[in-house]
Amino acid sequence: MDDDIVIVGGGQSKFGKRKGLGIRELAFEAVSDLMNDFNMGIEDIDASVIGIAGEEFSGQGAPAAVVVDEIGMVGKPTIRVESACATGSAGIKTAYGWIKAGFYDTVMVVGVEKMTSVSSARATELMARAGDVRWESPYGCSFPGYYAIMASAHMKEYGTTKEMLSSVGVKAHHYGSLNPKAHIQKEVSLEEAVNSIPIAYPLNLYDCSLISDGAAAVVLTKASLAKKYTDSPVRIKGVGSGSDTMEIAHRKSLTSLSGAKEAARRAYKMAGVTAKDIDVAEVHDCFTIAEIIATEDLGFFEPGQGGPAALDGQTYIGGKIPINVDGGLKSKGHPLGATGVSQANEIRNQLLGKSYNRQVEGAKIGLSHNVGQSGQFVNVMIYDRV
């Protein structure tokens, strides 16, 4: 029961507008990539957790069932989880708990979403329903609007500028251009980002994440069993979760996510580390202001200093704390159910030295931060090499 839980394999599909592919094919692509990664077959896996945030994107009711069918896990225990944009990390936490509880020894987590089957307007409407359908979304508030409110508050309280916001997008596109599985693989200049199409003031086009298709998968097991499958397991050293009010009007602060602070506090305590010990991080940059707030909530920078740090390049490789060096949600893409699993897979690759031209040299401890809705669900996980 006291055995550590480790990730022994990971895989990911290409993120993007995957025309002609549904949740079945995307999940199969991620699992196939995973199976090429280590010494295991489907027969070695006891159970699966399938993370899918929405049904109306793909049009498939009970979508986890078709994924299980496609990846060859029929007959074995499975469950579908959903925590909006934090669905992927919720899936990993579920698998972690199953193994800790002694139900199963080895569990596969697959996060997948097919979002581009509907128009951008329809996708925005569907996601807006994750806000309060009585007091928020009926009055026109969508997620760009929620985060625009946070950005405006941050600008007023701390003097954060549009250039600071845009610099987060510039970094994301720089690293996305180096990631062959990213949705958009192109560089963007600061001038382009600052002057791009307005979406919800003060957020522009390059401040907003992408509507993407994609899948990611990881396999968790007990540390005592890991050597059967790999010589390089990555341990989940700390897990923390938090939440916040449904309506953002009820929050004490619009410049911080209280659920993220609580999740980070719990994860750091469990792992026995502090923010200063983290070598590389994946944070939930659904909008550029979200990354700035995340770097403050996680303790990497003091409140109000996340923006200047981003503009100063402190979140690049070689800076104080490399953030989202796979392109993040902004450039890699944001298929809702897949995001948290993809983050874990990226951190695993970083700790194993397998991120190639995006590698943070000497990375030993990594962190992922996955936010659902506008902070109602938050999971923070800390990883290290065993």
Measured from the Cβ of residue 198, the count of other Cβ atoms closer than 10 Å reads 12
Mean pLDDT by 10 residues, the chain (386 residues): 87 97 98 88 96 93 97 97 98 98 98 95 90 90 96 98 98 98 98 98 97 98 95 97 96 97 98 98 98 98 98 98 98 98 98 97 98 97 95
Active-site residue, selected from the candidate residues 85, 141, 208, 286: 85
Q: Is 173 in the active site?
A: no
Return the bridge partners of 235, or none.
6, 384
CA angle 288, 50, 21 (to 5 degrees): 75
Give bridge partners of residue 240 from the DSSP assignment. Answer: 380
Catalytic residue among 154, 173, 174, 334: 334
Q: How many residues does the chain have?
A: 386
- Which pLDDT score, from 0 to 100, does residue 1 have? 41
Phi-psi region of 318 (alpha: psi -120 to 50; beta: other; left: phi over 0): left
Q: Under a CB-based contact definition with an 8 Å cutoff, are residues 370 and 89 in contact?
A: yes
Report the half-sphere exposure of 285 (CA within 13 A, side-chain side). Answer: 35
Amino acid type, 37: D
- Residue 198's φ and ψ, nearest 5 degrees, are -70, 140
Q: Write down the pLDDT at residue 37.
A: 78
Number of Cβ within 10 Å of residue 103's Cβ equals 12
Query: Tokens in use for 108?
Result: 């596969």
The three-state secondary structure class of 200 is: strand
Specify the pLDDT at position 306: 98
| C-alpha atoms less than 13 angstroms from C-alpha of 322 in its C-beta half-sphere | 22
Identify the structural domains of the chain with CATH numbers, from first to last.
Answer: 5-118+212-235 (3.40.47.10), 142-207+237-385 (3.40.47.10)
Helices 143-158/288-297 angle, 10° precision = 60
Q: What is the mean pLDDT of the chain?
A: 96
pLDDT at 140: 86
Query: For 150-170, what is the HEC assignment?
Result: HHHHHHHHHCCCHHHHHHHHH
Q: Which residues contact 253 (CB under 8 A, 6 or more apart)?
A: none
Amino acid, single-letter form, for residue 217: A
Indicate the pTM of the whole model: 0.97
The 10s digit of each residue's pLDDT in 122-152 is 999 999 998 999 999 998 899 999 999 999 9
Identify the burial level of 275 via C-beta atoms within 10 angstroms of its C-beta, where 0-12 means exposed, 13-18 middle and 19 or more buried. Answer: middle
pLDDT at 38: 77
Reply yes or no on whether 284 is catalytic: no
Please report the pLDDT score of residue 2 as a whole number: 58
Tell me the two tokens of residue 348.
């695993």
